[in-house]
Amino acid sequence: MTEFVGKFLNKIDKKGRVSVPALWRPKLLGEGFSGIVAQLTNGYNSVDGYSKNYLERYQDWLDKQDPHIEGNEYEATLIFGSSMLPFDREGRVLLPDLIRKKAQLESDALFVGMGRKFRIWEPSSFDIYESKAREYLNKRRSLGQ
């Protein structure tokens, strides 16, 4: 199921709160928790965001894997070491200082849909990433892949 599509640029206030795109909020409401699960991305100055349902699907997948595989432990540590950021009454979440600093999020947050999850970028970092992504796709097309 595709849940998150589009790009939305929102301001981060002085307290570190940012409004989650209104179009996406209904997909982030759940029993016992309404908000986003936020995790620093591996290799980019950005934050992955997803619903609690996505987190539970990930747990189900891990449960089916061999629990003794070292890679599963690493994945579980990264995923379940993420932050659960509840919505306030206005549909905002408070980005923790650690996440904001590591992702270089200061005044603006660009939310970019990725289907089942989304990514929150500092806009100029996303511009660099998007340029590389387009270059990669153009190279693949020229090779007939």
Query: What average pLDDT is seen over the chain?
Result: 88
Beta partners for residue 4, in sequence order: 115
Mean pLDDT within 23-52:
92
Contacts with 98 (C-beta within 8 Å, 6 or more apart), sequence order: none
> What CATH code is carried by the domain that includes residue 44?
3.40.1550.20
pLDDT, residue 17, reads 98
CA angle 109, 115, 119 (to 5 degrees): 20
Does residue 1 lie within any of the structural domains? no
CA–CA dist 90, 104 (Å, integer): 24
Residue 57: HSE in the Cβ half-sphere, 13 Å Cα cutoff: 9
Percent of the chain at pLDDT > 90 equals 63
pLDDT band at 82 (very low <50, low <70, confident <90, very high): confident
Mean pLDDT within 101-129:
96
Does residue 2 lie within any of the structural domains? no
pLDDT per residue over 95-106, tens digit each?
999 999 999 999
Residue with tokens 């089942």: 116
pLDDT band at 19 (very low <50, low <70, confident <90, very high): very high
Domain that holds residue 29: 7-142
Q: For residue 93, give both structure tokens.
A: 């979440």
Does residue 97 lie within any of the structural domains? yes
pLDDT band at 24 (very low <50, low <70, confident <90, very high): very high
Q: For residue 18, give both structure tokens.
A: 């940012």
Higher pLDDT, 115 or 143: 115
pLDDT, residue 74, reads 60
pLDDT at 43 over 80: yes
Long-range contacts of 11-14 (CB under 8 A, 24+ apart): 11/107, 11/108, 11/109, 12/95, 12/100, 12/105, 12/106, 12/107, 12/108, 12/109, 13/92
pLDDT at 81 over 80: no
Mean pLDDT within 2-16:
94
How many domains does the chain divide into? Answer: 1
Does residue 136 lie within any of the structural domains? yes
Does residue 101 lie within any of the structural domains? yes
